[in-house]
Amino acid sequence: MVATFLIDRPEARVVAERIGAVDAVWPAAPASIPARHGIRRPVGERPFIVLNGSGNQHHETLPIVESLLAARGRPLLYLQIDAHPDTRPQYRWHLDCSSFAGRLIELPGLLEVHVLGRYLECTKPADYEGPYVDKLGYYKADLFAKLHQYLVGPSPLADLYLPYLAEAHASAKRSPSIRAVAKRRLAPPGGGREVDALSVHWRTLAELDEGAWPDAEVYLSIDLDVARARPVTDWRRGGGMVDGRPVFADNQGDMEWDALLALIARIGAARRVVGADVCGLVERFDWLPEELRADSIAAVAEVHAALVAIMD
């Protein structure tokens, strides 16, 4: 039987009320935690689902995965369904929702890290040709051997990694998740003199081959901003205030809702999922009109049910 744990945040509690029984409530970690955080979660032996709060708290995933690796004593395959890669290099000093996956890449107990459903357009800097990662050499791992990313659909954009490293280029050429890689000359975002950079075009979910995954159990993390239309998340394509009331635009991701549920089922058919977490519900949940509140709660409950179905 699948256990359900709740991270004690208001927006997570409203989902727990809809789902029903929760096996344990965990205190929330700070919004930014030190890289040497020392947080341990009592994950137990049963397969489990963690109901997290806003996507701003996605870094909660790291101590959960570390605790699971310590408890089981064997390697895992880590899958993250997300519009964003969460690999900014500031994880060297502290962890937050944009950087925690950089630390996951370095964990020796994770055989591979897969980000499924990325939407490059949502993180493209203004007037720049694609998202970029600075300080590529900070990663204490063979980044392109460990990290695999699949876009939600075709994109003309590429990830741009600075500085250029010849060994990273060679590793990227061997990756089955990379369509094309090249050395580029460009100015850093915000201007400055031109430097060498590594340009990486990732493959799409239509090209995903789960048969090539390592033969290992899976930890699955889902950030609901990957879905364009529901639920309402903190990572949206604009919005604002009209007549003193907030307006809620689509999420930054571009995945159809049914495609998200189908991807969860596909993962469950391919490998045994032993742990999962879900985040993304908007932090200021009380701002939502009643209809959007009800639909957002229902959306998270549907994902929880889909996870139970593949883990039970």
CA–CA gap between residue 96 and residue 91 (Å, rounded) = 8
Q: Is the pLDDT of residue 248 over 90?
A: no
Residue 158 belongs to a domain: no
The three-state DSSP-derived secondary structure of 32-84 is CEECCCCCCCCCCCCCEEEECCCHHHHHHHHHHHHHHHHHHCCCEEEEEECCC
Residue 168 belongs to a domain: no
pLDDT of residue 91: 64
Measured in whole angstroms, the distance separating CA 274 from the mean position of its chain's CA atoms is 17
- Tell me how many domains the chain contains: 1
**When comparing pLDDT for 263 and 72, which is higher?**
263
Residue 113 belongs to a domain: yes
Largest CA distance in the chain: 58
**Is the bond preceding 163 in cis, omega lying within 30 degrees of 0?**
yes
* Residue 27: domain span: 3-126+145-151+211-311
pLDDT of residue 203: 98
What's the rounded mean pLDDT across residues 241-256? 79
Residue 67 belongs to a domain: yes
Q: What percent of the chain has a predicted confidence (pLDDT) above 90? A: 68
Q: Which of 136-140, 171-175, 245-249 has the lowest mean pLDDT?
A: 245-249
Q: Is the pLDDT of residue 242 over 70?
A: no
CATH of the domain at 42: 3.40.800.10
CA–CA gap between residue 7 and residue 5 (Å, rounded) = 7
Q: Which of 104-113, 233-242, 260-269 has the lowest mean pLDDT?
A: 233-242
Residue 42 belongs to a domain: yes
Confidence at 124, pLDDT banded by 50, 70, 90? confident
pLDDT 10s digits, 39-66? 899 998 899 999 999 999 999 999 999 9
pLDDT of residue 267: 98
Confidence at 240, pLDDT banded by 50, 70, 90? low
pLDDT of residue 145: 96
Residue 276 belongs to a domain: yes
pLDDT 10s digits, 149-161? 999 999 999 999 9
Residue 202 belongs to a domain: no
Residue 190 belongs to a domain: no
What's the rounded mean pLDDT across residues 138-146? 92
pLDDT 10s digits, 182-226? 999 988 777 788 999 999 999 999 999 999 999 999 999 999 999
Look at residues 21, 19, 20, 24 and name the one whose alpha carbon lies nearest to residue 6. Answer: 24
